Every structure is written in C-alpha cells, then in structure tokens.
Chains A and B, each alone.
Chain A
C-alpha cells in the first residue's frame, strides 16, 4: 500500500533532494528565502538626478531578484546605486525617486512532513512516495503535523472530551469520535497534541477555535503546529465502525496530518475501509445527512419506485437498518457503501 504526497515549491526555491532519496518528516527538501518586509532605497538622490531622469538609469525591472551589491541604477558616469541586501526590486516612485525593495531573509527550510522516498522532482513540486495508507476527509484546519496515532474514545459515536486529554497525549494525533468542542480543541493544543481526527465537528466551534488561534498567532503566542481532520461531516457525526476499528488496529502507528488539505497518511498501514457510491442491498452503509448523519447500518433492500423523503423530495431510496436500532427509508444518494479493510 502506498500513496504519493506532493510538496509544492515556491518560485525561487532551491531543491536539496533527488529522486530516490529516502526522507523523514522533519527533513529539509528545499530552501527558500522569504521576503522580510519593505525597504526603501534613494535612487535619484544618490545619482544626483531628478526622479524622472533617474528612472531612465535603472538597471533592473520591477520583480527582479537581486543579491547584495547588485546594481540597481547606473548613470554611466561613475554614480552607481547597489542593493544593500538580497531583495526583490518591486517598484520605483517617480515622485520621490526612491525604489521599494523586499529584502530576502536567510534560507528557510521547506519540509515534506512525510516519511517516504522522493519519486519526482519538478520545477514547482517534489513528489514523495509513502509506504502507508492515505485517508482524505471532508474538511480540516491547520498545517502539517506528524506523530503517533492514538485512539482517544471508546466508541465511534463518542464525543472527544477535554478530560480525555492529558500530558500523555502530547505529540500524538488523537482519533476522536463524533465531535470535539472548542474547549477540547483549545485544551488539546495547550497540552501539545499534534492533531485530532474526528468524524464530525460543529462548524461554529471549528470557526471559533480558528478565530482564537488566529488572534493568538497575531500576538505571537503560538506557531503552526496543530491540525484537525474532519472525516465524515459537520455537526455531531460519528466515525464509521469499520473505520474506527481500522484506527484502533493502527493505534501507535506514525502518521502525518495535513489539516487544511484534509489528508492523513498512516505509515505501514493496511488499506483503510473503502467507500463506494450507489450501495446495493445487503451492503453495509453509512448515512451522510441528518437525522442519520454518521450512523452506520445495513441496506436491507432498495425500493423499486421513487420514495419521497420527509422533506418531500422523491428519490431512489432503500430501507436501512441502522446500528443504533432505528430503521428508516433513506435516499441512496445519502448513503455510501462501506467495505471492510482487507486487514
């Protein structure tokens, strides 16, 4: 089982790896020099020319990257203006004869955040082949983190409570259940949890959490080292039983979580339970819309004719016997068949 992870490279990045290299999550794949702010350089004054005249003596065009000492302007008579540091030349003001530069900082690492083997190096991306399984979700938050998986609830329908998180959770990617409150997320972050995987989350709580993290980042209190992955849906939505069982079997496996990309790589893992649209009678299914969102069950039979939902929409539907004891006719469009992991 393998998956390919793609790391995008910004313009001007310097690649440090080649195809075939084995890389670790914290390994530097490339470097880039980020702009550090703005700097103004007096061009006209130093050339002793009017701003309009000095403009004709510029030797670079806006957008050019220059190194320290590179010429910015030259009057051809010995007056030269050079770049004070490595920078991007951005603009020249014809009013005051000054140039706007964006100084470039020291080389910063670009990490892959995954363990694997470099399979391709392109001008704008590096691809890494990962020995493990890839799970994609419906949403997420945060940057790239990695750590061992740790199942933190007993039942896939359980809510991940703040009390379940302690110092032992530090550095781990916790697998919760059907929901985590903003309070739980905040505590997890404070306790050093690397990431959280959930069946569902209340969108408002996720946004509240994002807002508090954004404010804390602005005042310099925290870094980008926490991520959330939402696998099934929004609201209180449980994890599929088979998928929960798969997580339980891989408790302790290293994983890399990309929150905003809604991707989770689990190293050395069997294929996760597969999903299939258009379920057939007899299939195990999971429902995606209220009032059954996140609840698994068995599709007992598919109705021969269209059946109106309680909202009145006629749809091809089937009778589902849910794991929680309820039975209901559900539109097939709202169901996915789940197939157990081969492992």
Chain B
C-alpha cells in the first residue's frame, strides 16, 4: 500500500553504449546503498523505455510504500552517466614502412581510440598514382605522418609528408608529424601555418618502439576533434574506476570492456595509475573486418559452424550490433569473437601478471552462464599465475568512474557489495610437455578437509567449486618445466584463492593456448573445456 509520507533516496547509474544502454537504480536499503533495479536494452529504444523498465521492476520488487511514485522518484533522481563516444575520430596514417613506422603509428592511433581509415606506406606495393588517388579519396578528421629514425633526414619520410600535403584539402584536419625530429621544420613548412603538430617519434631507432607520447597526443586530439565531454566518456570513466579499485585494493587490476563497436582495456596499478587502450573498431562488431578473424573465431568456437557460417554471423553482428544471439551456436561463436577481441587488445597492451581481471560489456558481463564469462576472460587474457576473475554485471563501473575525484572512492566503496560479481580464482600455467604433468594443487579451506592434491595435465582445465565469499589456501606444485609466472624459490607455492560463481579454475592449457591441428581433435578438446566450466559451475549453483 502506498504511503505518501514514505521517503527514499535514489540515483540512476546509466551506461549508454553504441548498441545497448544499461541502467541501474541504487537506493538506501536499511541504511546501505544497494542496487535495487537494473535494466538493459538497445540504445535505440530510447531513455523513456529504459525508465519504464526500471519503474516496472521497482513496482514489482521495490518498497510497496512507494508504489505508484517510482516514475516521479526516478525523474527526480540523480543521474550518474557515462557513454560511448558518439562519433569515432577517423584518421589516415601515412608512413615510410609498414613494419616499422607504419605499424607503430597504427598501434598508437588505435590504442588512442581512432579509427584508422587507411594505412598507406611507401613499401605497400601501391603505385604512386594509387597512393595519391587513395589519399584524395579518404574522408578523415586528421592525418598522421611517420617515418625516419631520429638523427636522419630521410627523404622517404619527407615524401610521405609531401603525399599528404599534395592530397589534403587545405585546412581540412590537423596533421600530426611523428617522424624523425630532424625533419620537423621541413614538414611544418609543407602545410599552412598551425596545421602541423609534432610528437616524439615512436620509432626513434630501429630497435625500440615507444608510442606512449604519440598515443597520449592522439588521445587528446581525438577529444578536440570529436568535441565530447571527456569526463563522461566510457573510455575515460571506466579506467578511472579501475584505477580507484586498484588503489583501494592495492592490486594490479585489468578491466576489459568489449562493447559492440569499441573495446576498452584499462590496466591499473596499485598506486592508482592506469594504462588505457581504446580500440574504436575493437568491439564485437569490428571483428568481422579484422584480417583473419573469421578463421580464428571458427577455430576457437569449436563445433558451431564452418568459416562461412562464422563469417555470416560476424557480418550480421557488424550490421546489427544491438541484436542478440538466439541459438547456442551463435552464442558460442559470439563469445569466441569476444575471446579474439580480448586477445588482440591484450597482446597489443602486454599486460603481464595481474591480480584481478574484470570483464565488462554485455557479451562478457551479460553472458548467460558465469563459466562462459570466465572462459572468455581466461582464453583472451591468458593471465599467467594466480588471478581473481570478476564481472561488472550491472555496468556500474563506468558511471561511477564519471564521478568527480572526491566522490569516486566513496562511490565505489558504498556500492562494493553490488559492484562486482566474483567468478573465482584462476591458476594459469605455461610450459610443460603436452599431456604431461602441469601442476598438483591442494586446496585448504578453514573447517573443511583439504581437497587434493589434484593433478592437472598440460592441456587440461579443472574447476573446483568455491562459492563467493569463501577463500581457500592453495598449495601449488608446478611440474618440471612448468611456470606460473613468479620466480620460484620453492617447489611449492602458496596462494590465496577467493571463491565465486565458477570457483577455482586450474588452467594448464598454456600461454598461448595450444589447440590441436586436426579439426576433429580441436572440436573435442574445446568441448571438453566448455564442459569443465559448465559442469562444475552448475554444481556450485
């Protein structure tokens, strides 16, 4: 029965993605802030429909004294919002060599969130006429030119800049020179005043690549070009939340958000500093156009279809990113695509060992089975050593990350109980002979007899149930030639495992994961891995 005197405090946390919008309502429940409603829908359905979903949920499960007033209460509630960039910055990259300056420039640009419309290099086999014609045809927001080692005045690097000068309409988009410093003045002289900015050469010499300065410059330039409020961009807010989580927990945290169009990875250190990678085309919908991706997805997906069927699925996802997989086969292939997307971003980032991996975005955090989410994270990241896994099921991290500095820590702490859904702890090994011993693990839980020792062979995965909220002391004995990352001073390694919806995952599939060459064998192995996750997780549930 509605009580007009009843009062409440509510806030809406909103994460508006390019394909799906997610909203959570938080309110005070017996003095604590808790998530009391959550809804997700295609972004195109609009905010009114999203609010209606939340109101319906609250009417069914909320405080009955507030019945009939939720519409008004939500309309007046605080909104804490983040969103995907509404427009992607488009960049043309012109460089001297595909392998050196070109690849470094491309990596920096993609990691800064640009869509590289064309990478043109002077060794790409195109004729001069084709290069000029290509550059005349591209429609971009900015131009990036790179080439030559520092200390040299490479005429080829100047030729690359001249190609841009000859084909770029005057005044159309800023030009970034990230080539040899010696040519900076000459390149500036090719364009109208103010058109060129110079950045440290990411390939200053043949042996080293450091594109951090270029990446940061391009990230800032993207903000200027697309003209969006950075504080509420998911690509800024999510890493801020990751940094605060890492600082609060004293952990090394990797957050991965594989969205429909873009993918964001944030690697946060215990001091709160964060390395960010934003791949504008790195989301699930972007996989269709990545070279060789269809075959990689088909290999990882197991028995869900041949390359042709996978190609159709990936193109369908690209064309209609807000749609959902209906069949088990399509879901398996979509999740395989997520593993490929994660693998690509982590490989580029070079994460090293981490304490906690958090999966965000609907494909991972909205997976129907927690074992599927854990598998996407493990297969994609291959976090060697002992790593906690969790997901952000209600998409709260992004909105909370858009809070001001002085409220961020408090916001995360207040919602700690609902923020992350722990999946469990993974022990990932590298090395060993296929089929040979990888590790022996004994789990000690307070008040329970020890479990094990459990023998895990190279290529195997085993899952031990350990519910959320519980911990276990693990004694890990890696076999000869097998590593779990850290330098070994003793044949036994002690580690603390925290429980979750999946449990303790003993993963001896190697880094990188080795798959049989024969298709039948590969399908059988993948099915056995899938079953290992499903079986034990269902037993916990």
Contacts and interface: CB of A to CB of B under 8 A. Distances in A.
B290 interface: no
B325 A311 contact: yes
Given A102-B129, A313-B366, A204 B169 contact: no
Given A91-B155, A102-B132, A311 B327 contact: yes
Contacts of A36: 129
B159 interface: yes
Given A63-B164, A277-B44, A11 B316 contact: no
Interface stretch (A20-28, A168-176, A209-217, A289-297): A289-297
Given A37-B127, A62-B161, A90-B163, A234 B312 contact: yes
A11 B167 contact: yes
B325 A35 contact: no
Interface in B180-197: 189-190
A309 B189 contact: no
A32 B167 CA distance: 12
Contact of B326 (A11, A278, A330): A330
Interface in B25-55: 41-42, 44-46, 49, 53
Contact of A202 (B44, B45, B312): B312
Contacts of A8: 137, 139
A10 B331 contact: no
A92 B328 contact: no
A314 interface: yes
Interface in A241-293: 277-278, 288-293
Contacts of A61: 162, 165, 189-190
Interface in B140-157: 153, 155-156
Shortest Cβ-Cβ A-B pairs, 9 listed:
A63-B165, A62-B162, A312-B368, A138-B319, A10-B136, A311-B331, A91-B159, A234-B315, A35-B132
Contacts of A233: 315-316, 319-320
Interface in A214-241: 233-235
B190 A63 contact: yes
28 contacts: A8-B139, A12-B136, A32-B136, A35-B128, A35-B129, A61-B190, A62-B159, A62-B161, A65-B166, A91-B155, A91-B156, A102-B132, A102-B166, A138-B319, A203-B308, A203-B311, A203-B312, A203-B314, A234-B313, A278-B45, A288-B320, A288-B323, A292-B326, A308-B368, A309-B327, A313-B366, A330-B326, A333-B322
A76 interface: no
Nearest to B49: A278
Nearest to A63: B165
A288 B44 CA distance: 16
Given A290-B326, A313-B324, A234 B162 contact: no
A80 interface: no
A139 interface: yes
A89 B136 CA distance: 16
A202 B309 CA distance: 8
A64 B319 CA distance: 41
A139 B316 CA distance: 10
A321 to B, nearest CB: 17
Given A90-B159, A203-B312, A277-B44, A309 B324 contact: yes
Chain B interface category by residue count: 35 or more
B368 A314 contact: yes
Given A91-B158, A278-B45, A308-B368, A204 B307 contact: yes
Interface residues of A, number: 57
B168 interface: yes
Given A139-B319, A311-B331, A313-B366, A289 B324 contact: yes
B322 A202 contact: no
Given A37-B128, A311-B331, A291 B42 contact: no
Interface of A: 8, 10-12, 32, 34-38, 61-65, 88-95, 100, 102, 123-124, 138-139, 202-204, 207, 233-235, 277-278, 288-293, 308-316, 330-331, 333-334
A202 B308 contact: yes
Given A62-B158, A204-B307, A293 B316 contact: yes
Given A34-B129, A233-B320, A290 B162 contact: no
Contacts of A88: 132, 162, 166
Interface in B62-109: none
Contacts of B369: 312
Contacts of B311: 202-204, 207, 234
Contacts of B41: 316, 333
B428 to A, nearest CB: 26
Contacts of B308: 202-204
A89 B189 CA distance: 14
B535 interface: no
B189 A123 contact: no
Nearest to B165: A63
A19 to B, nearest CB: 20
Given A124-B172, A311-B328, A330-B326, A35 B133 contact: yes
A90 B162 contact: yes
Given A61-B165, A102-B166, A290-B330, 19 more contacts: A10-B137, A34-B132, A61-B189, A62-B158, A89-B162, A90-B166, A91-B158, A94-B153, A203-B314, A234-B313, A278-B44, A288-B316, A289-B323, A309-B326, A312-B368, A316-B53, A331-B326, A333-B41, A333-B323
